[in-house]
Structure 1
Amino acid sequence: MSTAAPPEPSSASIPRASHAERASSFGAGAGDYRAVRPSYPDAAIDWMLPAGARHVLDLAAGTGKLTEKLVARGLHVTAVEPSDGMRAQLQDAVPGAHVLPGTAERIPLEDGSVDAVLVAQAWHWFDVATAVREIARVLRPGGRLGVVWNVRDHTVDWVEQFTEIIHRGDSLEPVHRTPSLDGVDEAFTPLVHATFPWADRLPAAGLRTLAATRSHLLTLPLAERDELLDAVDHLAATHPALAGLTEIDLPYRAECWRADRVLGTDAGMVDE
């Protein structure tokens, strides 16, 4: 059997989905997303949550990867997610959460009603100018905003190769940057950053499924998507660090930011 790598598709031949199309693409692959997307390390969650938090909003909660960790701590958790498909997976997986349809730009909660707003792997889909005002509105004075990204550790050779494959032809810029609070800076303390290395264990065959849950691949025509997924399979079958394994540890850095809602300011309120 040949071990030659599948050919790389020409980036010129790959249609570019719009930002909105990519943001709304996850519902179709929600089951796979729930099955293979990584969770978040406890140390990162500890760092983002304020002391004494009781009611926490998981904003753009997806299929509930972070939600379930929060519910397990005995917190009252409201999970807001716009995608019907993702929300259905969340409700099945985390029955202890209060799950609502909604967006970061229009959060279906009362003013000052939550102790923390956590955003996992979703900040780049927001209209930030509107979302940060809504987040400030629903946070109680002294409450906290926490933002977390799982970033693959590209110092590991096979991880770098995996990342190169799944970003071929991708027009979306890297998203794990410092979140912007422009326009409501006065409503929050300065952002603080911390990094938490960890690893997620998944079946070796799950690399293909993991790749298929990304918005870039979800919005590609079938032929181009299959070419990239076949390249992932080839990597898993032939890379010396992966070949023959049934399970692998995918190394991540949980990149986290937090900022506290300033006492006695209404700078985050949205004008009606």
Structure 2
Amino acid sequence: MSDGLSTSFGAEAHNYELGRPDYPFEAVAWMLEPLPADSHRIADVGAGTGKLTRVLAKAPGAEVVAIDPDAEMLATLRAGVPGVPTFVGTAEQLPLPDASVDAVVLGQAWHWVDPVRGSEEVGRVLRGGGVLGLIWNIRDERVDWVRRLTGIMHGSHAEVMLAGGGPVVAPPMGALEEHTWEWARPITRDLLHRMAASRSYIITAPDEEKQRIRREMDALFDELGLAEGATIDLPYVTRAYRSVKS
């Protein structure tokens, strides 16, 4: 989680917060299902602006800490989810003691992680029977205009990984279980542009490439009749995975 793309998001933290979707509570609850019903401590790793953190904080008895390699993202998180402790760190080098948390979760992040080193480090900080939860919101490209949108913006590292067979974990983490949820987010033209601007490919692209992407996105939205202020349903598939420490 330390290459230039994975640490580029801070430059677009505001657009990330506005443009990216929240996670369905049901999907987050499913990741934590193997844990006892009483209180538990959760580390949100690659927490970004707190999209997953705020959902975790709603879980009964949850005590959440947020970890991210980008201090700018964590500053946005602290403003939006006050009271949650934040730490700079990565999945491969967690700033946590041994056996100190019941769950480690990553939203839109495990594709940046070395799965062997990350699994070893997660296993170190998890208590016995602890859970690793991985979750992604992926646009549903079975819908024609969504597939065309991705073609304009370029596929992300996450989309490539999930299309290629999904995430991988290593010992001491056990086999991954998977579940999916389908839903839609009403979204405006402005928020679609903000979502695009928060993607690592576009953040690090030359100005002429950014201009091309915006121009082609606007042409697509004009074709769809998406006027300023109007909304269109952007379909998503949320893919969640969980693994129990063996």
TM-score normalised by the chain length of structure 1? 0.82
Q: Which runs of 5+ in 1 are unaligned?
A: 1-18, 263-272
Which of these residues, 36, 51, 54, is aligned with residue 65 of structure 1? 51
Which of these residues, 49, 55, 58, is aligned with residue 41 of structure 2? 55
Specify the alignment match of 1:267 in structure 2: none
Specify the alignment match of 1:95 in structure 2: 82
Which of these residues, 122, 144, 147, is aligned with residue 157 of structure 1? 144
Tell me the alpha carbon deviations over residues 112-151 of structure 1, each in whole angstroms, 9 at most, x when there is no partner: 1111111110111112221111101111101111101111
Root-mean-square deviation (CA, aligned residues, Å) is: 2.0
CA distance in 1, matches of 2:75, 2:159: 29
CA distance in 1, matches of 2:36, 2:230: 41
CA distance in 2, matches of 1:100, 1:244: 39
Specify the alignment match of 2:166 in structure 1: 178
Which of these residues, 208, 213, 222, is aligned with residue 228 of structure 1? 213
Q: Per-residue deviation at 1:172?
A: 8.5
CA distance in 1, matches of 2:94, 2:187: 34
CA distance in 2, matches of 1:214, 1:172: 11
**8 A Cα contact 1:22 1:216, kept in partner:** yes
| 2:98 pairs with 1:111 | yes
Q: Per-residue deviation at 1:164?
A: 0.8
Q: Per-residue deviation at 1:244?
A: 7.0
Compare CA radii of gyration and give the structure with the larger one.
1
Change (3 A) 1:33 1:192: same
Percent identical pairs in the alignment equals 39
Moved more, 245-254 or 92-101: 245-254
Specify the alignment match of 1:256 in structure 2: 240
Q: Per-residue deviation at 1:234?
A: 1.5
Query: 4+ residue runs of structure 1 moved beyond 3 angstroms?
Result: 170-173, 242-245
Q: Which runs of 5+ in 2 are unaligned?
A: none
Which of these residues, 16, 36, 44, is aligned with residue 27 of structure 2? 44
Tell me the alpha carbon deviations over residues 169-196 of structure 1, each in whole angstroms, 9 at most, x when there is no partner: x7997132422123x1xx2332111111
Amino acid at match of 1:251: P
| 2:180 pairs with 1:192 | no
Change (3 A) 1:179 1:54: same
**8 A Cα contact 1:58 1:118, kept in partner:** yes
Aligned residues, how many?
239
Corresponding residue SS for 1:254: strand
Specify the alignment match of 1:213 in structure 2: 198
CA distance in 1, matches of 2:89, 2:153: 29
